[in-house]
Structure 1
């Protein structure tokens, strides 16, 4: 494992922007606490510092992660190190207005999907303040808004880019049809979608379009909310507002399937010299379907382990063995 930890992090480029970043990105949703059973700002700050030290440069956050809490943590953690990071944050989930479509309630606040021009300008200014920076590297529409024309949304993003407040434009949770419409009005540098060994839908929908238009793909939930990090103790309980408590993927039956899956891959893990979580993250990058694997972490140890996966080279035969084992054990995971 030490050889893995001391190797060099892979890098990639965010589409037409030319921005270079690490192939492993730090996801900060859990740092905001919401839907993850609370937060620990001190531990989160240490995790961000450890990620940078380990070669991770892309830090992914969003206003909706704790109603600004995650962005505040990222901004504070990057004091004195802003130049080392590529910050990706988002717009389009708002609580300052009731325009658009109601999406969910967070901490007593109704949150709406809305990507209107003036709202995006407002969101950008608020994010800049929380992040304690004068520019955002990658600005992503978090969820799409059916009440606002894509042309209006893209015009706002292009305006922010001309003003130097953002460097690159991204979209998330988007259909191929909507991404095509964005591309009609200007360059899209990145798309962010769920992608892991058990979430591979984009291979047939978005990946071909992104390849055609040089749009970098950022895969979030690379470990499927921790499901793919390694065998889960059958007795483990998820408490509070932790979304995994009610997620059927974390059922006792599924944990048994995962145990069999990981047992089959034990020789592969030993051969490469890494943890199961690192193996799954490295598979994500090796798949060729994403430019960046986004991995959440709330503590230093998680951050360091995830980052080390960016230096792992998986032989093609090992990739095939992982695919075959997943087909046998995880197909019905849901």
Structure 2
């Protein structure tokens, strides 16, 4: 496994970090707890020491699974990344959407990052995770109903109390990040980034390079799209949010797989799967510190972790880019 410092901090994370959204089950058509625990433990055995989760993933269930998986691991050997600012148990802030929890109960999701809410969320997360501190505490989504100053003040207080080591944000644009930096030293910005979703290259990547900030890239495999395993006609399970996204239309599956076929010789030459090749490409991109990759079972987790055992040359990256530039997906 490769390890990288996050931005201008002393926080060292595994270059491939375990993403725990899917293990929470919510919006992923359910989950199997024992398989999820095995997935996290299998990753750790291969050097994946960093785990990213969030309270809203399964309404606490993802954090509980992470807590169960790490309970026998020395705390200083792992890095816990979790989030705050999305509430399903408090009708305050900005209403995002209606949903159902894993038991089929109707819930409403809100973006809210007021001071008292953050303090409560942190305490709840610490209990579910079975720890007394969080390595990286990240605002999940911008909250337009609360000032950035109030939000960052609250996180600073948690850092002073020793409950949080470093602060980060998710889904911030460069302007929001700069505003937050007036009140706190941010380690990173966690944003969506993949071969087919590269919006951050316009402003966030240049800003992060200039300021020495880390980027945690989530969904680098575009939730399975870039593994080559999804073919036209693919059927999603009930409640799987991918079924409604344009990326997974049959025509886009066909075009994406044609692209993947073109870069497959590089993967074959290194004994890699297409998914592993895509992860390596992601880690070679400017300003990308960490590739956040999810897994729902041990087999997927092992394959993700093993990607770090290989590397790409500049020439190989250029070949991939050449084919990627010809890929156009339909809206």
State how 1:21-100 maps to structure 2 within 5 Å: 21-81=13-73, 82-100=75-93
For residues 304 and 115 of structure 2, the distance between their equivalents in structure 1, rounded to whole angstroms, comes to: 37
SS in 1 for 2:169: strand
Report what 1:3 is aligned to.
none
How far the C-alpha of 1:231 sits from its partner, in A, is 4.2
SS in 1 for 2:109: strand
Q: Verify the 8 A CA contact 1:22 1:292 in the aligned structure 2.
A: yes
For residues 251 and 212 of structure 1, the distance between their equivalents in structure 2, rounded to whole angstroms, comes to: 37
Aligned length: 325
How far the C-alpha of 1:97 sits from its partner, in A, is 2.1
Report what 2:124 is aligned to.
126
Report what 2:299 is aligned to.
301
For residues 53 and 213 of structure 1, the distance between their equivalents in structure 2, rounded to whole angstroms, comes to: 34
How far the C-alpha of 1:95 sits from its partner, in A, is 2.5
Report what 1:310 is aligned to.
308
For residues 259 and 84 of structure 2, the distance between their equivalents in structure 1, rounded to whole angstroms, comes to: 38
For residues 8 and 263 of structure 2, the distance between their equivalents in structure 1, rounded to whole angstroms, comes to: 38
SS in 2 for 1:191: strand
For residues 198 and 232 of structure 2, the distance between their equivalents in structure 1, rounded to whole angstroms, comes to: 26
**TM-score between the two structures when normalised by the length of structure 1:** 0.94
State how 1:136-151 maps to structure 2 within 5 Å: 136-151=134-149
| Residue range with higher mean Cα deviation, 33-42 or 202-211 | 202-211
Report what 2:328 is aligned to.
331
SS in 1 for 2:216: strand
SS in 2 for 1:25: strand
Report what 1:104 is aligned to.
97
Deviation digits for residues 72-112 of structure 1 (CA, Å, limit 9, x no counterpart): 00011111113321110000001232221111223212121
For residues 330 and 188 of structure 2, the distance between their equivalents in structure 1, rounded to whole angstroms, comes to: 29
| Residue range with higher mean Cα deviation, 201-210 or 68-77 | 201-210
Report what 1:158 is aligned to.
156
Q: Verify the 8 A CA contact 1:231 1:258 in the aligned structure 2.
A: no
| Residue range with higher mean Cα deviation, 197-206 or 124-133 | 197-206
Q: Verify the 8 A CA contact 1:231 1:262 in the aligned structure 2.
A: no
SS in 2 for 1:45: helix
For residues 199 and 48 of structure 1, the distance between their equivalents in structure 2, rounded to whole angstroms, comes to: 27
For residues 286 and 211 of structure 1, the distance between their equivalents in structure 2, rounded to whole angstroms, comes to: 14
**TM-score between the two structures when normalised by the length of structure 2:** 0.95
Q: Verify the 8 A CA contact 1:17 1:167 in the aligned structure 2.
A: no
How far the C-alpha of 1:333 sits from its partner, in A, is 4.7
